[in-house]
């Protein structure tokens, strides 16, 4: 009888442990990340390098879902990241869109020069951008600021983080396909295709990431960089203090509202605290227009976005 009861308690504890594990990410020990992203890394970010990547992507032409330019962009990122010691993985999936079933590809990258990383596990941090551009049949939409800019920032971030192994092993880079809606606006069924799929697959990993950072439209110094209203409170505080530290408080603004973007599935589906940084596109006359071209972004704004992100990561790993 005692034996049965004891076994019952063990079974109950096991069930509680399992259900707790299902509810939230598996904790990663603080000791493993402490001091891994140094203050010295912050000044190493080059806006010029980030710009060069945006320029290279732009040269392929518009990169909406299913386009040849999207494939060329994937190959470009794979080559650049491999040269920096990062391994990449294509996450292919099918999605139902208003124009029928489509094939999509997210690109994931981890710093692991010697061996293949364990894709079933996770790094503490996710650093994300979308790679696709909005589909327009009637004109050529290059999507320089939306979202070539954040893609370029991520590749330069890969260089900075892996230089002298600055915490690169704590970061997974994610380039989402299909962020843009096929029809005019993002809704529950159209848009965020890549992030919805990626978030659904995180359940299958043995270890979950702890924090997500999503960058979008980050290369224009003339429009404020917004901290999305649904950003996790702790991350809001960190980002505001990081902006003050870098004297960027006049550019980086807290937004009162949620802006629908790739962070939403990460928060809602994968239960991750996320920092959403997005340029205030409502002040950009060129947003989703043919005029989203290279003259809209600057080395300085790309550098400031890179430095701000590194400062936040530095503070989170202090």
**Which residues form the interface with Zn ion (CB under 5 A)?**
146
Rounded Cα–Cα distance for residues 184 and 181 (Å): 7
Looking up tokens 């996450």 gives 91
**Residue nearest Zn ion by beta-carbon distance:** 146
- Terminal Cα-to-Cα distance of the chain (whole angstroms): 52
CB of residue 206 vs Zn ion: minimum separation in angstroms? 34
Q: Among residues 64 and 124, whose Cβ is nearest to Zn ion?
A: 64
- Give, in degrees to the nearest 5, the angle at Cα 81 between 43 and 243: 30
Phi and psi at residue 225, to the nearest 5°: -95, 115
190 SS3 class: coil
How does strand 225-227 pair with strand 211-216? Answer: unpaired
CB of residue 133 vs Zn ion: minimum separation in angstroms? 8
Q: Among residues 129 and 170, whose Cβ is nearest to Zn ion?
A: 129
155 SS3 class: helix
Structure-block tokens of residue 2: 């005692």
CB of residue 239 vs Zn ion: minimum separation in angstroms? 22
Rounded Cα–Cα distance for residues 203 and 199 (Å): 8
CB of residue 270 vs Zn ion: minimum separation in angstroms? 22
CB of residue 191 vs Zn ion: minimum separation in angstroms? 9
Q: Among residues 57 and 84, whose Cβ is nearest to Zn ion?
A: 57
Q: Among residues 93 and 281, whose Cβ is nearest to Zn ion?
A: 281
Nearest in space to 213 (alpha carbons), one of 251, 184, 242:
242
Q: Among residues 28 and 192, whose Cβ is nearest to Zn ion?
A: 192
Q: Among residues 86 and 281, whose Cβ is nearest to Zn ion?
A: 281
Q: Among residues 102 and 271, whose Cβ is nearest to Zn ion?
A: 102
H helices of the chain, in order, are 2-23, 30-33, 39-42, 47-59, 68-83, 149-162, 193-202, 233-245, 263-268, 299-316
CB of residue 136 vs Zn ion: minimum separation in angstroms? 11
Under DSSP, the state recorded for 217 is S
CB of residue 134 vs Zn ion: minimum separation in angstroms? 5
């Amino acid at each position: 009888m005692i034996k049965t009861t004891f076994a019952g308690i063990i079974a109950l504890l096991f069930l509680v442990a399992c259900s707790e594990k299902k509810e939230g990410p598996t904790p990663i020990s603080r000791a493993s990340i402490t001091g891994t992203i140094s203050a010295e890394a912050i000044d190493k970010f080059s806006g010029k390098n980030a710009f060069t990547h945006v320029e290279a992507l732009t040269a392929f032409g518009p990169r909406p879902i299913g386009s040849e330019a999207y494939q060329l962009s994937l190959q470009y990122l794979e080559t650049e990241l491999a040269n920096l010691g990062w391994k990449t993985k294509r996450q292919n999936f099918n999605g139902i869109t208003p124009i029928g079933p489509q094939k999509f590809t997210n690109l994931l990258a981890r710093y692991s020069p010697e061996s293949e990383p364990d894709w079933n596990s996770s790094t503490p941090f996710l650093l994300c951008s979308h790679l696709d551009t909005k589909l327009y049949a009637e004109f050529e939409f290059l999507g320089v600021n939306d979202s070539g800019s954040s893609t370029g920032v991520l590749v330069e971030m890969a260089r900075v983080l892996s230089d002298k192994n600055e915490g690169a092993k704590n970061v997974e880079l994610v380039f989402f396909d299909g962020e843009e809606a096929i029809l005019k606006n993002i809704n529950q069924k159209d848009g965020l295709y890549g992030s919805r799929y990626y978030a659904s697959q995180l359940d299958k990993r043995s270890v979950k990431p702890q924090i997500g950072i999503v960058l979008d439209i980050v290369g224009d110094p003339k429009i404020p960089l917004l901290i999305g209203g649904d950003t996790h409170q702790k991350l809001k505080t960190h980002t505001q203090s990081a902006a003050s530290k870098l004297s960027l408080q006049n550019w980086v603004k807290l937004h009162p509202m949620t802006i629908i973007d790739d962070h939403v599935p990460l928060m809602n589906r994968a239960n991750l605290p996320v920092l959403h940084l997005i340029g205030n596109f409502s002040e950009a006359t060129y947003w989703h227009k043919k005029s989203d071209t290279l003259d809209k972004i600057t080395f300085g704004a790309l550098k400031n976005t890179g430095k701000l992100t590194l400062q936040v990561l530095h503070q989170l790993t202090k």
